[in-house]
Amino acid sequence: MADKIKKILIANRGEIACRVIRTCRKMGIASVAVYSDADRKALHVRMADEAVHIGPSPATESYLMIEKIIAACRQTGADAVHPGYGFLSENPEFARCLKKEGITFIGPSPESMEAMGLKDAAKKLMEKAGVPVTPGYHGPDQDGKLLKARAGMIGYPVLIKAVAGGGGKGMRKVEQAEDFDDALASARREAKAAFGDERVLIEKYIARPRHIEVQIFGDTHGNIIHMFERDCSIQRRHQKVIEEAPAPGLREEVRQAMCGAAIKAAKAVDYVGAGTVEFIVDGSGELRKDGFWFMEMNTRLQVEHPVTEMITGLDLVEWQIRVAQGEKLPKQKDIKMHGHAIEARIYAEDPANDFLPSTGNFEIFEIPRPGLDDPGALPQGVTQRVDTGIAQESEISVFYDPMIAKYIAHAASRTDAILALQQMCRASLLYPIWTNLRFLGRCLEQEALLSGAISTGFIAEHMADLVPESLSERDCARLSSALHIMQHPEHLTEFDGWRLNLPPRNTAIIYVNGHPTEVPLNPMQG
């Protein structure tokens, strides 16, 4: 067994850094935060036992600088690093550098990361391991004519996907052969810009896909277990916004087949630590044992791990640390599933403007405080949870992902869990930055979601209901004026705007989308 970890440096920021720090406190392990210029006043910096400045605001000059992270470990005496998610979390070179320094990397081996890092190689490996993969072309020949011919053999519609990619970048759906060349060129450009690698693979497009993933864990004693599945089908721009566990409508025999395939995938790369095997699932009818295919494996902790924690009662960060210390995992038979959990990701973004990120400072940041606030009339046994790295007056920067918080609800039934999550969204007030809170609330009210009839196309299909038609500029101006007068009534009196032989007249010039709009302000008696 490895030595007990005494001090963990979290090579990350925001919500996940705060999440890891909480588990460190619970386990009696000292924590070290790192921060850039933009994060000097960030919540994770305040929560940690120590904090080290690592550079300017751009991630390329701070959170992605391996040498700066290692220097911070030396400076503080940290004997382990938790990478969180994003940034360096799936960088095998980072894990190797830490190992050379005698610092424990809380994650899988560099070899496991490399094996799963390139989608084409990973799919070949999965085929060899007996894991079902989507029909497609994953070969090395990148000639455009060959790729187009392969697409024709697979049968349209097809997906062009970046070999080195993720998050929907470098991905294009192609409906017919006439559109293939333009889509290929576009996917290659985006892949090159995002990953420095323009190689692509071709896959059969699943008409009504669901995204279901399995949480797996491996230890240094050769044990690999699963912690059931999560349904992450509710996505915008190929990025998850609502996740839940267990997956609606997944029969036990299909669950066992899917979890068994995930364990095969992990064993194929001698996996150690927390990982997630993602499957694309045919959701056009009843979910079947022969209707799911390997998509990719994430060799890190996932953003959506709390729903798994809620249904199993396990602390996944704690088990990451225990495995890194050489401890054995629990037996598969001892991992039980209880109830239903659902999570919503709160983003600083404008759903009505193609989910454009918002920036600035929160003047009002009122989010649920489970255990402190009155949750109202919720069913018995409901548990609510908030994971965030933001506090009052925190800055939402242009430099990083705009996620503000994760709201999680757990209950005995899916219906009650959704009701509890709806209540959390309604109980929040975030101002003045645009967020997707109301958008999420509308998602949770849609009959398709309530019935479990979901797919990765859910948001696109229901966009008209999720983002109602915008107010006119004049209506926006009127609302802004009313809010201002409510906050500053001294700015409006009967004597303002005096006119000879006419009633007083007040006007305000409000700028909406850069356009000046004149709004009459009329004082009322009483």
- Residues serving a catalytic function are 300
Pairing mode, strands 30-36 and 7-10? parallel
Cα gap 121→255, rounded to integer Å: 26
Residue 126 CB neighbour total at 10 angstroms: 25
Nearest to 512 by CA among 467, 473, 484: 473
DSSP string, 139-158: -S---HHHHHHHHHHH-SSE
Side-chain-facing half-sphere of 63: CA atoms under 13 Å: 26
Task: Look at the block and give the residue holding tokens 């963990």.
Answer: 8
Cα gap 257→497, rounded to integer Å: 75
DSSP string, 304-368: THHHHHHHH---HHHHHHHHHTTPPPPPGGG----SEEEEEEEESEEGGGTTEE--EE-SEEE--
Cα gap 371→385, rounded to integer Å: 9
**The two structure tokens encoding residue 117:** 């890092």
Task: Look at the block and give the residue holding tokens 């609800």.
Answer: 409
Nearest 5°: the CA angle 101, 107, 110 is: 65
Burial, 300: exposed, middle or buried (Cβ in 10 Å; 0-12, 13-18, 19+)? buried
Task: Look at the block and give the residue holding tokens 């709160």.
Answer: 346
Residue 167's identity, in one-letter code, is G
**The two structure tokens encoding residue 453:** 């009839």
Contact 79, 7 (CB under 8 A): yes
CA–centroid distance for 145 within its chain: 36
Angle between helices 14-27 and 316-324 (to 10 degrees): 70
Cα gap 450→447, rounded to integer Å: 5
Q: What is the dihedral of CA 215, 220, 223, 224, to 10 degrees?
A: 20
Tell me, letter by letter, the H, E, C secondary structure of 254-316: HHHHHHHHHHHHHHHCCCCEEEEEEEEEECCCCCCCCCEEEEEEECCCCCCHHHHHHHHCCCH
**The two structure tokens encoding residue 395:** 């800055």
Kindly list the distances between the CA atom of residue 95 and the CA atoms of 71, 100, 384, in Å, as whole numbers in the listed order: 15, 9, 35
